[in-house]
Structure 1
Protein backbone atom coordinates (compact mmCIF):
# COMPACT_ATOMS: atom_id res chain seq x y z
CA UNK A 1 0.00 0.00 0.00
CA UNK A 2 2.86 2.39 0.84
CA UNK A 3 4.46 1.84 -2.55
CA UNK A 4 1.21 2.25 -4.49
CA UNK A 5 0.36 5.40 -2.55
CA UNK A 6 3.70 6.94 -3.53
CA UNK A 7 3.16 6.00 -7.17
CA UNK A 8 -0.33 7.45 -7.28
CA UNK A 9 0.69 10.63 -5.48
CA UNK A 10 3.47 11.16 -8.03
CA UNK A 11 1.04 10.42 -10.84
CA UNK A 12 -1.80 12.67 -9.75
CA UNK A 13 -0.11 15.55 -7.96
CA UNK A 14 1.86 17.06 -10.83
CA UNK A 15 -0.60 19.92 -11.09
CA UNK A 16 -0.57 20.78 -7.37
CA UNK A 17 2.39 23.13 -7.59
CA UNK A 18 1.25 24.61 -10.90
CA UNK A 19 -0.44 27.41 -8.97
CA UNK A 20 2.99 28.80 -8.12
CA UNK A 21 4.11 31.48 -10.53
CA UNK A 22 7.89 31.78 -10.24
CA UNK A 23 9.82 29.26 -12.30
CA UNK A 24 12.99 27.83 -10.78
CA UNK A 25 14.27 26.43 -14.09
CA UNK A 26 17.65 27.66 -15.26
CA UNK A 27 17.90 29.93 -18.29
CA UNK A 28 19.24 27.06 -20.40
CA UNK A 29 15.99 25.06 -20.01
CA UNK A 30 13.09 25.48 -22.41
CA UNK A 31 9.89 23.75 -23.43
CA UNK A 32 9.83 22.48 -27.02
CA UNK A 33 7.21 24.28 -29.13
CA UNK A 34 6.43 21.22 -31.24
CA UNK A 35 3.44 19.08 -30.27
CA UNK A 36 4.32 15.40 -29.90
CA UNK A 37 1.75 12.61 -30.13
CA UNK A 38 2.24 9.10 -28.78
CA UNK A 39 1.21 6.89 -31.68
CA UNK A 40 -1.15 4.13 -30.66
CA UNK A 41 -2.17 5.95 -27.49
CA UNK A 42 -3.16 9.18 -29.26
CA UNK A 43 -1.99 11.36 -26.40
CA UNK A 44 -0.12 14.61 -26.76
CA UNK A 45 3.02 15.07 -24.74
CA UNK A 46 5.20 18.00 -23.76
CA UNK A 47 8.99 17.77 -23.91
CA UNK A 48 11.46 19.92 -21.98
CA UNK A 49 15.07 20.51 -23.04
CA UNK A 50 18.18 21.37 -21.05
CA UNK A 51 21.09 22.63 -23.17
CA UNK A 52 24.61 22.75 -21.72
CA UNK A 53 26.10 26.13 -20.75
CA UNK A 54 28.48 26.15 -23.72
CA UNK A 55 25.90 25.10 -26.33
CA UNK A 56 25.51 28.57 -27.87
CA UNK A 57 29.23 29.34 -27.94
CA UNK A 58 30.58 26.19 -29.59
CA UNK A 59 29.86 23.86 -32.48
CA UNK A 60 30.32 20.81 -30.29
CA UNK A 61 28.02 17.80 -30.26
CA UNK A 62 26.77 16.41 -26.97
CA UNK A 63 25.68 13.20 -25.25
CA UNK A 64 21.97 13.05 -24.46
CA UNK A 65 20.13 12.00 -21.31
CA UNK A 66 16.51 10.99 -21.91
CA UNK A 67 14.55 11.30 -18.68
CA UNK A 68 10.98 10.55 -17.63
CA UNK A 69 8.67 12.69 -15.46
CA UNK A 70 9.84 15.89 -17.16
CA UNK A 71 7.65 18.00 -14.86
CA UNK A 72 9.85 17.03 -11.91
CA UNK A 73 13.30 17.59 -13.39
CA UNK A 74 13.89 21.34 -13.62
CA UNK A 75 11.16 23.44 -12.07
CA UNK A 76 9.50 23.59 -8.65
CA UNK A 77 6.38 25.15 -10.18
CA UNK A 78 5.59 22.01 -12.16
CA UNK A 79 7.08 19.38 -9.87
CA UNK A 80 5.68 17.10 -7.22
CA UNK A 81 7.08 18.07 -3.78
CA UNK A 82 10.26 19.53 -5.27
CA UNK A 83 12.34 19.22 -8.41
CA UNK A 84 15.37 17.05 -9.07
CA UNK A 85 17.47 20.12 -9.89
CA UNK A 86 18.90 18.46 -12.99
CA UNK A 87 19.69 21.83 -14.58
CA UNK A 88 21.55 23.19 -11.54
CA UNK A 89 23.44 19.93 -11.03
CA UNK A 90 24.59 19.72 -14.65
CA UNK A 91 25.53 23.41 -14.70
CA UNK A 92 27.71 22.67 -11.64
CA UNK A 93 29.18 19.62 -13.34
CA UNK A 94 30.09 21.74 -16.35
CA UNK A 95 31.77 24.32 -14.12
CA UNK A 96 33.68 21.67 -12.19
CA UNK A 97 34.64 19.17 -14.89
CA UNK A 98 33.60 20.69 -18.22
CA UNK A 99 31.20 17.78 -18.74
CA UNK A 100 28.28 18.77 -20.95
CA UNK A 101 25.00 17.03 -21.74
CA UNK A 102 21.69 17.67 -23.43
CA UNK A 103 18.74 16.51 -21.33
CA UNK A 104 15.39 15.61 -22.86
CA UNK A 105 12.66 15.49 -20.23
CA UNK A 106 9.46 13.77 -21.37
CA UNK A 107 6.47 14.79 -19.26
CA UNK A 108 4.54 11.97 -17.67
CA UNK A 109 0.93 11.23 -18.53
CA UNK A 110 -0.35 12.03 -15.03
CA UNK A 111 -3.34 9.66 -14.64
CA UNK A 112 -1.82 7.45 -17.37
CA UNK A 113 1.66 7.43 -15.83
CA UNK A 114 1.22 4.09 -14.09
CA UNK A 115 0.41 2.47 -17.46
CA UNK A 116 2.90 4.30 -19.69
CA UNK A 117 5.88 3.59 -17.46
CA UNK A 118 5.28 -0.15 -17.24
CA UNK A 119 6.01 -2.65 -19.99
CA UNK A 120 4.27 -5.61 -18.37
CA UNK A 121 0.56 -5.96 -17.58
CA UNK A 122 -0.39 -6.17 -13.92
CA UNK A 123 -3.38 -8.19 -12.67
CA UNK A 124 -4.37 -5.42 -10.24
CA UNK A 125 -3.12 -2.18 -11.80
CA UNK A 126 -4.01 -2.88 -15.40
CA UNK A 127 -2.64 -2.84 -18.92
CA UNK A 128 0.93 -1.86 -19.68
CA UNK A 129 1.55 0.88 -22.24
CA UNK A 130 5.32 1.01 -21.91
CA UNK A 131 5.93 -0.37 -25.40
CA UNK A 132 4.11 2.43 -27.29
CA UNK A 133 5.55 4.98 -24.84
CA UNK A 134 9.12 3.81 -25.48
CA UNK A 135 8.49 3.53 -29.23
CA UNK A 136 7.37 7.16 -29.02
CA UNK A 137 10.70 8.16 -27.47
CA UNK A 138 12.76 6.06 -29.87
CA UNK A 139 10.91 6.76 -33.13
CA UNK A 140 9.41 10.23 -32.60
CA UNK A 141 11.23 12.20 -29.91
CA UNK A 142 14.80 11.02 -30.52
CA UNK A 143 14.76 11.66 -34.30
CA UNK A 144 13.43 15.16 -33.64
CA UNK A 145 16.14 15.82 -31.04
CA UNK A 146 18.92 14.50 -33.28
CA UNK A 147 17.71 16.63 -36.20
CA UNK A 148 17.17 19.80 -34.15
CA UNK A 149 20.12 19.79 -31.75
CA UNK A 150 23.81 18.93 -32.01
CA UNK A 151 23.77 15.47 -30.46
CA UNK A 152 26.11 12.49 -30.44
CA UNK A 153 23.49 9.94 -31.30
CA UNK A 154 25.23 6.58 -30.82
CA UNK A 155 24.29 4.28 -27.89
CA UNK A 156 27.50 5.02 -26.00
CA UNK A 157 26.39 8.65 -25.73
CA UNK A 158 22.67 8.08 -25.17
CA UNK A 159 21.36 7.39 -21.67
CA UNK A 160 17.91 6.83 -20.26
CA UNK A 161 17.25 7.70 -16.62
CA UNK A 162 14.21 7.51 -14.37
CA UNK A 163 12.97 6.77 -10.88
CA UNK A 164 10.31 4.48 -9.44
CA UNK A 165 8.21 3.35 -12.42
CA UNK A 166 10.56 5.54 -14.46
CA UNK A 167 13.37 3.31 -13.25
CA UNK A 168 11.39 0.24 -14.28
CA UNK A 169 10.80 1.53 -17.82
CA UNK A 170 14.47 2.59 -18.08
CA UNK A 171 15.45 -0.98 -17.23
CA UNK A 172 13.10 -2.21 -19.95
CA UNK A 173 14.49 0.30 -22.44
CA UNK A 174 18.17 -0.62 -22.26
CA UNK A 175 17.41 -4.31 -22.79
CA UNK A 176 14.70 -3.74 -25.43
CA UNK A 177 16.49 -1.02 -27.46
CA UNK A 178 20.23 -1.77 -27.18
CA UNK A 179 20.81 -0.10 -30.54
CA UNK A 180 19.55 3.18 -29.04
CA UNK A 181 20.47 3.28 -25.34
CA UNK A 182 23.89 2.31 -24.04
CA UNK A 183 23.46 3.64 -20.50
CA UNK A 184 20.63 3.49 -17.96
CA UNK A 185 20.14 5.17 -14.60
CA UNK A 186 17.65 2.93 -12.79
CA UNK A 187 16.72 4.78 -9.60
CA UNK A 188 14.40 3.28 -6.98
CA UNK A 189 13.08 0.80 -9.57
CA UNK A 190 9.67 -0.78 -9.00
CA UNK A 191 10.87 -4.35 -9.53
CA UNK A 192 8.08 -5.52 -7.21
CA UNK A 193 5.75 -5.00 -10.19
CA UNK A 194 6.16 -8.59 -11.31
CA UNK A 195 8.33 -11.14 -13.07
CA UNK A 196 8.62 -9.20 -16.35
CA UNK A 197 11.97 -7.46 -15.74
CA UNK A 198 13.49 -10.63 -14.30
CA UNK A 199 12.42 -12.67 -17.32
CA UNK A 200 13.78 -9.94 -19.59
CA UNK A 201 17.22 -10.11 -17.95
CA UNK A 202 17.24 -13.90 -17.85
CA UNK A 203 16.27 -14.33 -21.50
CA UNK A 204 17.87 -11.22 -23.00
CA UNK A 205 21.38 -9.90 -23.38
CA UNK A 206 22.94 -6.63 -22.32
CA UNK A 207 25.39 -5.18 -24.82
CA UNK A 208 29.07 -5.38 -23.92
CA UNK A 209 29.63 -1.63 -23.64
CA UNK A 210 26.37 -0.88 -21.83
CA UNK A 211 26.33 0.55 -18.30
CA UNK A 212 23.72 0.34 -15.56
CA UNK A 213 23.49 2.35 -12.36
CA UNK A 214 20.97 0.91 -9.88
CA UNK A 215 20.02 2.95 -6.81
CA UNK A 216 17.75 2.17 -3.87
CA UNK A 217 16.97 3.78 -0.54
CA UNK A 218 16.85 1.67 2.58
CA UNK A 219 13.66 3.41 3.72
CA UNK A 220 11.71 2.71 0.53
CA UNK A 221 10.12 -0.40 2.04
CA UNK A 222 10.97 -4.12 2.25
CA UNK A 223 9.19 -4.96 -1.02
CA UNK A 224 11.24 -2.37 -2.93
CA UNK A 225 14.53 -3.33 -1.30
CA UNK A 226 14.02 -7.09 -1.57
CA UNK A 227 13.15 -6.98 -5.27
CA UNK A 228 16.10 -4.62 -5.89
CA UNK A 229 18.51 -7.07 -4.25
CA UNK A 230 16.99 -9.96 -6.17
CA UNK A 231 17.65 -8.10 -9.43
CA UNK A 232 21.25 -7.41 -8.40
CA UNK A 233 21.80 -11.12 -7.78
CA UNK A 234 20.37 -11.98 -11.18
CA UNK A 235 22.47 -9.37 -12.99
CA UNK A 236 25.56 -10.74 -11.25
CA UNK A 237 24.65 -14.30 -12.23
CA UNK A 238 24.30 -13.16 -15.84
CA UNK A 239 27.82 -11.76 -15.78
CA UNK A 240 27.00 -8.05 -15.79
CA UNK A 241 28.74 -7.06 -12.57
CA UNK A 242 31.52 -5.22 -14.43
CA UNK A 243 28.95 -3.11 -16.30
CA UNK A 244 26.94 -2.36 -13.20
CA UNK A 245 27.22 -0.01 -10.25
CA UNK A 246 24.68 -0.40 -7.47
CA UNK A 247 24.09 1.61 -4.33
CA UNK A 248 21.77 1.01 -1.39
CA UNK A 249 21.56 4.16 0.74
CA UNK A 250 20.28 3.24 4.23
CA UNK A 251 18.60 6.61 4.84
CA UNK A 252 17.27 7.03 1.29
CA UNK A 253 13.53 7.56 0.84
CA UNK A 254 11.27 7.37 -2.19
CA UNK A 255 11.29 11.03 -3.19
CA UNK A 256 12.80 13.68 -5.43
CA UNK A 257 15.16 14.90 -2.72
CA UNK A 258 16.85 11.49 -2.59
CA UNK A 259 17.20 11.27 -6.36
CA UNK A 260 18.50 14.83 -6.52
CA UNK A 261 21.26 14.04 -3.99
CA UNK A 262 22.39 11.02 -5.99
CA UNK A 263 21.97 12.30 -9.54
CA UNK A 264 25.48 13.68 -10.05
CA UNK A 265 27.07 10.39 -9.00
CA UNK A 266 24.80 8.51 -11.39
CA UNK A 267 25.85 10.66 -14.34
CA UNK A 268 29.54 10.58 -13.44
CA UNK A 269 29.57 6.78 -13.36
CA UNK A 270 27.50 6.27 -16.48
CA UNK A 271 29.81 8.58 -18.44
CA UNK A 272 33.04 7.68 -16.63
CA UNK A 273 36.21 6.16 -18.02
CA UNK A 274 36.67 2.67 -19.49
CA UNK A 275 35.05 -0.26 -17.71
Structure 2
Protein backbone atom coordinates (compact mmCIF):
# COMPACT_ATOMS: atom_id res chain seq x y z
CA UNK A 1 0.00 0.00 0.00
CA UNK A 2 2.83 2.40 0.86
CA UNK A 3 4.52 1.82 -2.50
CA UNK A 4 1.22 2.35 -4.34
CA UNK A 5 0.62 5.56 -2.41
CA UNK A 6 4.04 6.97 -3.29
CA UNK A 7 3.55 6.06 -6.95
CA UNK A 8 0.11 7.59 -6.98
CA UNK A 9 1.45 10.74 -5.37
CA UNK A 10 4.19 11.05 -7.96
CA UNK A 11 1.66 10.52 -10.75
CA UNK A 12 -0.67 13.14 -9.27
CA UNK A 13 2.23 15.60 -8.98
CA UNK A 14 3.16 15.00 -12.62
CA UNK A 15 -0.41 15.63 -13.72
CA UNK A 16 -0.51 18.88 -11.73
CA UNK A 17 2.75 20.05 -13.33
CA UNK A 18 1.34 19.41 -16.81
CA UNK A 19 -1.87 21.26 -15.96
CA UNK A 20 0.05 24.28 -14.68
CA UNK A 21 2.22 24.27 -17.82
CA UNK A 22 -0.83 24.17 -20.06
CA UNK A 23 -2.40 27.02 -18.10
CA UNK A 24 0.74 29.03 -18.78
CA UNK A 25 0.51 28.28 -22.49
CA UNK A 26 -3.11 29.32 -22.64
CA UNK A 27 -2.45 32.51 -20.70
CA UNK A 28 -5.78 32.39 -18.92
CA UNK A 29 -5.33 30.30 -15.78
CA UNK A 30 -6.16 31.75 -12.40
CA UNK A 31 -4.15 30.83 -9.33
CA UNK A 32 -6.15 32.80 -6.80
CA UNK A 33 -8.81 35.45 -6.56
CA UNK A 34 -7.23 38.88 -6.47
CA UNK A 35 -8.76 42.33 -6.08
CA UNK A 36 -9.25 44.45 -9.18
CA UNK A 37 -6.44 46.89 -9.96
CA UNK A 38 -7.95 48.42 -13.10
CA UNK A 39 -8.35 52.20 -13.12
CA UNK A 40 -11.84 53.75 -13.45
CA UNK A 41 -11.29 54.57 -17.14
CA UNK A 42 -11.12 50.86 -18.04
CA UNK A 43 -14.31 48.99 -18.87
CA UNK A 44 -15.49 45.74 -20.43
CA UNK A 45 -17.66 46.21 -23.49
CA UNK A 46 -21.22 45.11 -22.74
CA UNK A 47 -21.33 42.11 -25.05
CA UNK A 48 -18.75 39.74 -26.57
CA UNK A 49 -17.80 39.74 -30.24
CA UNK A 50 -18.17 36.72 -32.53
CA UNK A 51 -15.05 35.56 -34.39
CA UNK A 52 -15.92 35.25 -38.11
CA UNK A 53 -15.74 31.64 -39.27
CA UNK A 54 -15.44 30.26 -35.74
CA UNK A 55 -18.23 29.54 -33.29
CA UNK A 56 -16.49 31.49 -30.52
CA UNK A 57 -16.90 34.82 -28.81
CA UNK A 58 -14.32 37.15 -27.33
CA UNK A 59 -14.58 39.68 -24.53
CA UNK A 60 -13.15 43.10 -25.38
CA UNK A 61 -11.76 45.52 -22.78
CA UNK A 62 -11.55 49.25 -23.37
CA UNK A 63 -9.27 51.94 -21.99
CA UNK A 64 -10.42 55.51 -22.61
CA UNK A 65 -8.22 58.55 -21.91
CA UNK A 66 -8.69 60.48 -18.68
CA UNK A 67 -11.53 63.02 -19.04
CA UNK A 68 -12.70 61.41 -22.29
CA UNK A 69 -16.31 62.34 -21.51
CA UNK A 70 -15.37 65.99 -20.95
CA UNK A 71 -13.35 66.38 -24.15
CA UNK A 72 -14.18 66.48 -27.84
CA UNK A 73 -10.99 65.48 -29.60
CA UNK A 74 -10.32 62.13 -31.26
CA UNK A 75 -7.53 59.76 -30.32
CA UNK A 76 -5.14 57.19 -31.80
CA UNK A 77 -6.09 53.58 -31.07
CA UNK A 78 -3.84 50.74 -29.92
CA UNK A 79 -5.20 47.22 -30.43
CA UNK A 80 -3.67 44.72 -28.02
CA UNK A 81 -3.87 40.97 -27.53
CA UNK A 82 -4.35 39.02 -24.26
CA UNK A 83 -6.75 41.61 -22.91
CA UNK A 84 -7.00 39.82 -19.56
CA UNK A 85 -3.38 40.68 -18.80
CA UNK A 86 -3.31 44.36 -19.72
CA UNK A 87 -5.17 46.28 -17.02
CA UNK A 88 -6.19 44.15 -14.07
CA UNK A 89 -4.50 41.71 -11.70
CA UNK A 90 -7.89 40.15 -11.02
CA UNK A 91 -8.03 38.77 -14.57
CA UNK A 92 -4.31 38.48 -15.41
CA UNK A 93 -2.68 35.06 -15.59
CA UNK A 94 0.36 36.03 -13.51
CA UNK A 95 0.58 39.80 -13.46
CA UNK A 96 -0.81 42.72 -15.43
CA UNK A 97 1.05 45.07 -17.76
CA UNK A 98 -0.31 48.20 -16.06
CA UNK A 99 -1.27 49.72 -19.41
CA UNK A 100 -3.94 51.95 -17.86
CA UNK A 101 -1.69 53.38 -15.15
CA UNK A 102 1.15 53.89 -17.65
CA UNK A 103 -1.02 55.78 -20.13
CA UNK A 104 -2.63 57.89 -17.39
CA UNK A 105 0.85 59.02 -16.31
CA UNK A 106 1.90 59.63 -19.92
CA UNK A 107 -1.22 61.73 -20.52
CA UNK A 108 -0.45 63.84 -17.48
CA UNK A 109 3.22 64.35 -18.40
CA UNK A 110 2.99 64.78 -22.17
CA UNK A 111 -0.64 65.58 -22.93
CA UNK A 112 -0.72 62.68 -25.41
CA UNK A 113 -3.70 60.38 -24.99
CA UNK A 114 -4.77 57.08 -26.52
CA UNK A 115 -7.59 54.58 -26.69
CA UNK A 116 -6.60 50.97 -26.04
CA UNK A 117 -8.70 48.03 -27.17
CA UNK A 118 -7.74 44.77 -25.47
CA UNK A 119 -9.05 41.56 -27.03
CA UNK A 120 -9.15 38.67 -24.57
CA UNK A 121 -7.31 35.53 -25.54
CA UNK A 122 -9.21 32.30 -26.13
CA UNK A 123 -7.65 30.19 -23.40
CA UNK A 124 -7.25 26.71 -24.87
CA UNK A 125 -7.54 28.20 -28.38
CA UNK A 126 -4.93 30.91 -27.80
CA UNK A 127 -2.08 29.28 -29.69
CA UNK A 128 -4.24 28.48 -32.71
CA UNK A 129 -5.92 31.88 -32.89
CA UNK A 130 -2.69 33.81 -32.58
CA UNK A 131 -0.92 32.18 -35.52
CA UNK A 132 -1.81 32.23 -39.22
CA UNK A 133 0.37 29.13 -39.66
CA UNK A 134 -0.20 25.60 -38.29
CA UNK A 135 2.07 23.99 -35.74
CA UNK A 136 2.77 20.27 -35.43
CA UNK A 137 2.19 20.32 -31.67
CA UNK A 138 -0.66 22.81 -31.35
CA UNK A 139 -2.54 22.06 -34.55
CA UNK A 140 -4.40 24.16 -37.09
CA UNK A 141 -3.98 27.87 -37.69
CA UNK A 142 -6.87 30.21 -36.92
CA UNK A 143 -4.96 33.48 -36.98
CA UNK A 144 -6.68 34.74 -40.11
CA UNK A 145 -10.08 34.38 -38.44
CA UNK A 146 -8.74 36.15 -35.35
CA UNK A 147 -7.45 39.01 -37.49
CA UNK A 148 -10.86 39.22 -39.18
CA UNK A 149 -12.32 39.72 -35.71
CA UNK A 150 -10.03 42.69 -35.10
CA UNK A 151 -10.10 44.29 -38.55
CA UNK A 152 -13.66 43.57 -39.71
CA UNK A 153 -15.63 43.44 -36.46
CA UNK A 154 -13.96 45.15 -33.51
CA UNK A 155 -12.26 48.07 -35.29
CA UNK A 156 -15.43 49.18 -37.16
CA UNK A 157 -17.35 49.02 -33.88
CA UNK A 158 -14.76 51.10 -32.02
CA UNK A 159 -14.49 53.65 -34.83
CA UNK A 160 -18.29 53.98 -34.99
CA UNK A 161 -18.88 54.34 -31.26
CA UNK A 162 -15.87 56.26 -30.00
CA UNK A 163 -13.88 59.31 -31.08
CA UNK A 164 -10.99 57.68 -32.88
CA UNK A 165 -8.34 58.72 -35.35
CA UNK A 166 -9.02 55.73 -37.56
CA UNK A 167 -6.39 56.18 -40.28
CA UNK A 168 -3.40 53.90 -40.62
CA UNK A 169 -0.89 56.30 -39.07
CA UNK A 170 -2.96 56.43 -35.87
CA UNK A 171 -3.74 52.72 -35.60
CA UNK A 172 -1.28 50.47 -33.76
CA UNK A 173 -1.24 46.80 -32.86
CA UNK A 174 0.76 45.39 -29.97
CA UNK A 175 1.32 42.20 -28.04
CA UNK A 176 3.79 39.80 -26.49
CA UNK A 177 4.82 36.21 -27.11
CA UNK A 178 2.16 34.77 -29.45
CA UNK A 179 0.69 38.27 -29.44
CA UNK A 180 4.06 39.54 -30.66
CA UNK A 181 3.97 37.02 -33.50
CA UNK A 182 0.45 38.11 -34.43
CA UNK A 183 1.33 41.81 -34.24
CA UNK A 184 4.24 41.20 -36.61
CA UNK A 185 1.91 39.38 -39.01
CA UNK A 186 -0.75 42.08 -38.77
CA UNK A 187 1.48 45.05 -39.61
CA UNK A 188 2.93 43.19 -42.61
CA UNK A 189 -0.29 41.70 -43.97
CA UNK A 190 -2.61 44.64 -43.23
CA UNK A 191 -0.42 47.60 -44.28
CA UNK A 192 -3.47 49.77 -44.95
CA UNK A 193 -4.85 49.20 -41.44
CA UNK A 194 -1.88 49.22 -39.04
CA UNK A 195 0.85 51.83 -39.19
CA UNK A 196 2.59 50.91 -35.95
CA UNK A 197 3.44 47.64 -34.21
CA UNK A 198 4.80 46.79 -30.78
CA UNK A 199 6.36 43.34 -31.17
CA UNK A 200 7.34 42.08 -27.72
CA UNK A 201 9.15 38.74 -27.24
CA UNK A 202 7.66 37.40 -30.48
CA UNK A 203 7.12 33.64 -30.73
CA UNK A 204 8.87 33.27 -34.06
CA UNK A 205 9.69 29.71 -32.97
CA UNK A 206 6.06 28.73 -33.50
CA UNK A 207 6.47 28.67 -37.28
CA UNK A 208 9.37 29.41 -39.56
CA UNK A 209 6.76 30.53 -42.10
CA UNK A 210 6.93 33.94 -40.44
CA UNK A 211 10.23 34.58 -42.22
CA UNK A 212 9.04 33.55 -45.68
CA UNK A 213 5.78 35.47 -45.17
CA UNK A 214 7.72 38.61 -44.22
CA UNK A 215 9.65 38.35 -47.48
CA UNK A 216 6.36 38.27 -49.39
CA UNK A 217 4.41 40.91 -47.46
CA UNK A 218 5.91 44.27 -46.63
CA UNK A 219 4.73 46.65 -43.99
CA UNK A 220 3.86 50.17 -45.04
CA UNK A 221 7.17 52.05 -45.46
CA UNK A 222 5.89 54.62 -42.99
CA UNK A 223 5.05 51.94 -40.45
CA UNK A 224 7.03 52.09 -37.22
CA UNK A 225 8.14 48.74 -35.82
CA UNK A 226 9.29 48.39 -32.21
CA UNK A 227 10.69 44.95 -31.37
CA UNK A 228 11.69 44.09 -27.81
CA UNK A 229 12.99 40.98 -26.09
CA UNK A 230 15.00 40.12 -23.00
CA UNK A 231 18.49 38.69 -23.11
CA UNK A 232 17.36 36.18 -20.51
CA UNK A 233 14.68 34.68 -22.76
CA UNK A 234 17.02 32.11 -24.26
CA UNK A 235 19.21 31.58 -27.30
CA UNK A 236 16.24 30.73 -29.54
CA UNK A 237 14.55 34.07 -28.89
CA UNK A 238 17.80 35.97 -29.45
CA UNK A 239 18.71 34.19 -32.69
CA UNK A 240 15.20 34.48 -34.16
CA UNK A 241 14.99 38.19 -33.28
CA UNK A 242 18.40 38.78 -34.86
CA UNK A 243 17.35 36.85 -37.97
CA UNK A 244 14.19 38.95 -38.31
CA UNK A 245 16.14 42.16 -37.78
CA UNK A 246 18.50 41.24 -40.62
CA UNK A 247 15.57 40.28 -42.85
CA UNK A 248 13.74 43.56 -42.31
CA UNK A 249 16.89 45.54 -43.06
CA UNK A 250 17.52 43.50 -46.22
CA UNK A 251 13.91 44.03 -47.21
CA UNK A 252 14.55 47.74 -47.19
CA UNK A 253 12.21 48.90 -44.46
CA UNK A 254 13.43 52.39 -43.49
CA UNK A 255 15.85 52.00 -40.63
CA UNK A 256 14.62 55.10 -38.83
CA UNK A 257 11.21 53.40 -38.67
CA UNK A 258 12.56 50.32 -36.86
CA UNK A 259 13.81 49.98 -33.31
CA UNK A 260 15.19 46.78 -31.77
CA UNK A 261 15.66 46.64 -28.02
CA UNK A 262 17.31 43.88 -26.01
CA UNK A 263 16.72 44.27 -22.27
CA UNK A 264 19.64 42.87 -20.24
CA UNK A 265 18.53 39.83 -18.21
CA UNK A 266 14.91 40.44 -19.24
CA UNK A 267 12.65 37.41 -18.85
CA UNK A 268 9.60 36.24 -20.79
CA UNK A 269 6.99 37.82 -18.54
CA UNK A 270 4.62 40.72 -17.92
CA UNK A 271 7.22 42.54 -15.86
CA UNK A 272 9.46 42.93 -18.92
CA UNK A 273 6.59 43.92 -21.20
CA UNK A 274 4.84 46.27 -18.77
CA UNK A 275 8.04 48.10 -17.84
CA UNK A 276 8.85 48.63 -21.51
CA UNK A 277 5.34 49.64 -22.59
CA UNK A 278 5.67 53.42 -22.14
CA UNK A 279 9.02 53.57 -23.94
CA UNK A 280 7.50 51.65 -26.85
CA UNK A 281 4.49 53.97 -27.08
CA UNK A 282 6.68 57.06 -26.93
CA UNK A 283 8.86 55.77 -29.77
CA UNK A 284 6.00 54.50 -31.90
CA UNK A 285 4.09 57.79 -31.65
CA UNK A 286 7.21 60.02 -31.52
CA UNK A 287 6.52 61.55 -28.12
CA UNK A 288 9.48 63.51 -26.83
* Range of TM-score over shorter length: over 0.9
The Cα offsets for residues 1-56 of structure 1, whole Å up to 9 and x where unpaired, read as xxx99984434452415622x21000000000022110111101100000000311
Match of 2:129 among 110, 116, 120: 116
Q: Which runs of 5+ in 1 are unaligned?
A: none
Verify the 8 A CA contact 1:17 1:78 in the aligned structure 2: no
- The answer to whether the 8 Å contact 1:18/1:78 transfers is no
In 2, Cα distance between equivalents of 1:42 and 1:17: 28
Residue 53, structure 1, aligned to residue 58, structure 2? no
Matched residue, 1:244: 258
Does residue 266 of structure 1 match 2:280? yes
Q: Which runs of 5+ in 2 are unaligned?
A: 1-17
Map of 1:201 onto structure 2 = 214
Q: 1:268 to 1:6 in 2, by over 3 A?
A: farther
Against the structure 1 CA distance between its residues 53 and 69, is the aligned structure 2 distance closer, same or farther, given a 3 Å change threshold?
same
* Residue 49 to residue 35, structure 1, CA distance change in 2 (3 Å): same
User: Are the equivalent residues in 2 in contact too, given 1:216–1:247 (CA < 8 A)?
Assistant: yes
Answer yes or no: is the 8 Å Cα contact 2:26–2:127 preserved in 1: no
Equivalent pair of 1:64/1:152 in contact (CA under 8 Å): yes
Aligned residues: CA RMSD: 1.8
Q: 1:80: which partner in 2? A: 93
Task: Quickly say closer, same or farther: Cα 1:212–1:41, change in 2 above 3 A.
Answer: same
What is the SS of the residue equivalent to 2:274? helix
The Cα shift of 1:273 comes to 6.5
**Alpha-carbon distance, 1:238 to partner:** 1.1
**Residues 268, 5 of structure 1: alpha-carbon distance in 2 compared, 3 angstrom cutoff:** farther
Matched with 1:130 is: 143
Alpha-carbon shift at residue 79 of structure 1 (Å): 0.2
| Equivalences, count | 270
Per-residue CA deviations over 1:114-151 (Å, capped at 9, x if unaligned) read 10011111122211110000011100000000011000
